[in-house]
Amino acid sequence: MSDNINEYPSKLAEEVVSDSYVELAKYTARTRSFPGLYDGMKSVYRRVLYQARDYKKFTKSATLVGETLKLHPHGDSSIYSVLVEMTCAYNNFPLFTGKGNFGGLGFSAASSRYTDAKISDIARLMYLDLVDYADFTESETGYTEPKYLPALIPYCFLAGSRGMSVGLPTTNIPPLNLMDLINYYIDLLSGNDTEYPKPDFGEVIIDCSKEEHSDEMLRTGYGRLWFMPVIIQEDYNKFVVTQETPNGTFNRVLNRLQTYIDEDVVDHIDETDQNGYRHVFITNNTNKLSPDDLKEIISNALYCSMTYRLIVEKDSKAYYCNFDYIVNHQIKYLHECVNRKYTDIIKKIETRLVILNAIQVVKNDESIMSNLHKMTSSELISKIVKLGFEEWVAKEVLKRPISYLTRSHDNEIKDLEDDLILNKEYLADPNKYLLEMYEKLKVMVSEFYDSKGHSVFVEDIAKGDINKYELSSSQLIFGDHLENDWDKGIIAVSKLGEVYYGLVPKVNYSPIDLPELEDENDSYVCTTHDSGKYLIIISNPRYIDVIPIERLSVGLGRYSKNWGFDHSVVDCLVVDDEFDLIDERGNEFNIVCENWVKSRVSNPSRVSRYKLSKYRNGDKVEKINFKI
């Protein structure tokens, strides 16, 4: 070895640091900064989920963190923070069910040794059903791990994904409406026309044209969305905000109202707790700050926009892409995993059938069965081979006890042959299997989905449809097409016949809370407004009940019929004096409302033997909407 130092290339210290910094940036981007193309997960999320798969019961979070450290050697705090994120109630879609304090708004989670978690059944179906047939690779620590999870829905579309890689552009993927996503996949696999899912940030309003901005953002992989808050007016001078817009903060509101707060013109009450945000603003002096001006200040302060850029990782490279690119590659990867699964299952079934057929042949061979107790293993193997079976089959037969060899296996063979036919269908058409998975997923997530509020577009709210846009199961949202009068009433009817009458808030696009229904199986199915004299409730759908609007407006906030499920409400409408009902056979029935008014305890009256399909109110003919 030469001792001459001049023979080695020299670099300035800053050059060495710079080169190392670039290498670190590339390594980080390759392994941890971008969500994977096929499952939408960054590596730490994937590793936590995979390592927790064998724990079917609640397990100490510290144990799950320790298991994940085998694959992700970057500190337990980073792993536990991700586990908390995937478990806490304020996540868009939690993948884990937790016990203990997993944190909330304004307070942090307890230490990992005090909390327990397990993967939810929905997450197992969505991410782990095919994991044994995924592509595997060597982790940073030498263990084997899935390169990607076979995801029915990429996680970045469920919870969104934001992150900055060193020296590279920032990825920012919006969360999308879960039910829209599932329907998109079902339509795509069925060969039907598809419609891009809507962004879903919780109860905020997206202030842009869906076609021009939201769809364009998903189509191109780049775009900007504008957001406005949902502001609830609980009194003429009291406003409540229950969720921040994606890039707006309540501090911005407080800064703009600080002078009024200092002068006691406005009261601000922060009622945020573990159940969610709740900021209350009350104007005490309407001469100095009117309710409309207060609402405008809050709305303008929280109004914001966000730029979205879809970037994912594939084979250690970052890809700018669009929604279709991600979905198409993800479906292709699912096809590969389904093919591997059913190739393996079919091979096992065929092996099992060969062994059972050999047992049946042996059982029916009198020369073998009568001398079975005298034969050695090698003699029996030789006999079975002579019957036309391979030696490995003969050895498998020998592993079975005598009682198993002598009993009938006809039913088992029939079941295996039926399974073989079905599994070959799945192998020939992976979409058949995937469609069943998505339909099952749709049923499983429906209760979770219905319990949350979802984002809406201004354009959807502003439509003049009398059935107002439903913001959540307990709130209805109204636009300025209702003329912003406090004397304007909204009527909401449940499927069991409970009627709620309330006033529409004065603030545009503000929801009102509907009261809880008496029956836990009941739910609101239709709404209308009070621009008429009579409320018509259609049930069963051959029956009607006619209720004067004035009977509701004199203080009866709830008009309860409780007809039961045999007469479930299908639609309601408001008319003046008379109208016509048309059944499916085309028969017409003129309804003079004053002749049909019943007492509060009466049963609904049948109009026709056949299902009612339309009604005529003046010159207008409308279909009856069957909403159950």
Instruction: Indicate the fold that domain 335-445 takes in CATH.
Output: Topoisomerase; domain 3 (1.10.268)
| HSE toward the beta carbon, residue 148, CA cutoff 13 A | 27
Contacts of 256 (CB under 8 A, 6+ apart): 297, 300, 301
Q: Among all chains, which residue has been given the structure tokens 């219905």?
A: 450
Q: Which two tokens stand for residue 135?
A: 């592509």
DSSP designation for 150: -
CB atoms near residue 376 (< 10 Å):
8
pLDDT reported for residue 338: 96
- Among residues 121, 146, 120, the alpha carbon closest in space to that of 336 is found at 146
Q: Hey, what amino acid is at 157?
A: F
User: Cα dist. 354→198, 349, 385 in Å?
Assistant: 52, 9, 13
d(CA 604, CA 563): 8
CB atoms near residue 222 (< 10 Å):
16
d(CA 76, CA 113): 12
C-beta of residue 279 within 8 angstroms of C-beta of residue 111: no
Instruction: Indicate the fold that domain 462-623 takes in CATH.
Output: Neuraminidase (2.120.10)
- Among residues 443, 444, 451, 433, the alpha carbon closest in space to that of 123 is found at 444
Contacts of 205 (CB under 8 A, 6+ apart): 227, 228, 229, 230, 455, 456, 457, 458, 461, 509
Over residues 306-354, the pLDDT tens digits come to 889 898 888 878 888 999 999 999 999 999 999 999 999 999 999 999 9
Question: In 160-231, where does DSSP find H-type helix?
Answer: 178-190, 215-220
Q: Which two tokens stand for residue 584?
A: 């499916």
Strands (E), 461-567: 470-472, 475-478, 489-494, 498-503, 510-513, 524-529, 534-539, 543-548, 558-560
d(CA 624, CA 608): 14
C-beta of residue 334 within 8 angstroms of C-beta of residue 434: yes
CB atoms near residue 195 (< 10 Å):
12
CATH number (3.90.1150.60, 3.90.199.10, 3.90.79.10, 3.30.70.270) of 23-166 reads 3.90.199.10
C-beta of residue 168 within 8 angstroms of C-beta of residue 29: yes
Q: Which two tokens stand for residue 221?
A: 């992989």
pLDDT reported for residue 236: 77
Q: Which two tokens stand for residue 14?
A: 């800053």
C-beta of residue 362 within 8 angstroms of C-beta of residue 382: no
- 3-42 exposure pattern, b = at least 16 Cβ within 10 A, e = fewer: eeeeeeeeeeeeeeeeeeeeeeebeebbbbbbbbbbbbbb
| HSE toward the beta carbon, residue 42, CA cutoff 13 A | 22
pLDDT reported for residue 7: 54
CB atoms near residue 237 (< 10 Å):
18
pLDDT reported for residue 482: 42
Q: Which two tokens stand for residue 551?
A: 């009977």
d(CA 608, CA 603): 15
Q: Which two tokens stand for residue 501?
A: 């009458």
Query: What are the start and end residues of each CATH 3.30.1360.40 domain in the chain?
Result: 226-307
C-beta of residue 495 within 8 angstroms of C-beta of residue 567: no
Q: Among all chains, which residue has been given the structure tokens 């923070």?
A: 81
pTM for the structure as a whole: 0.72
C-beta of residue 40 within 8 angstroms of C-beta of residue 162: no
DSSP designation for 248: -
d(CA 211, CA 4): 69
Question: Could you write out the three-class secondary structure of 426-451?
Answer: HHHCHHHHHHHHHHHHHHHHHHHHHC
Low-confidence ranges of the chain (pLDDT < 50): 1-2, 5, 8, 463-474, 478-486, 507-508, 554-558, 601, 628
For the chain, the straight-line distance linking the first and the last C-alpha, in angstroms and rounded, comes to 86
C-beta of residue 551 within 8 angstroms of C-beta of residue 508: no
The alpha-carbon radius of gyration of the chain (Å, integer) is 32
Question: In 29-75, where does DSSP find H-type helix?
Answer: 43-51, 61-69
Query: What are the start and end residues of each CATH 2.120.10.90 domain in the chain?
Result: 462-623
Strand 204-206 with 456-457, pairing: parallel
CB atoms near residue 324 (< 10 Å):
14
User: Cα dist. 342→274, 374, 470 in Å?
Assistant: 45, 41, 43
C-beta of residue 353 within 8 angstroms of C-beta of residue 421: no
Burial class (CB in 10 A: 0-12, 13-18, 19+), 179: middle
Could you give the angle at which helices 323-364 and 410-428 cross, rounded to 10 degrees? 160
C-beta of residue 79 within 8 angstroms of C-beta of residue 32: no
* Yes or no: domain 226-307 corresponds to CATH 3.30.1360.40: yes
H or E stretch at 364? helix 323-364
The CA angle 301-302-306, to the nearest 5 degrees, is: 120
Burial class (CB in 10 A: 0-12, 13-18, 19+), 69: middle
Provide the Cα torsion 331, 332, 333, 335; round to 10°: 90
Beta bridge partners of 228: 205
Question: In 485-624, where does DSSP find H-type helix?
Answer: 549-553, 593-596
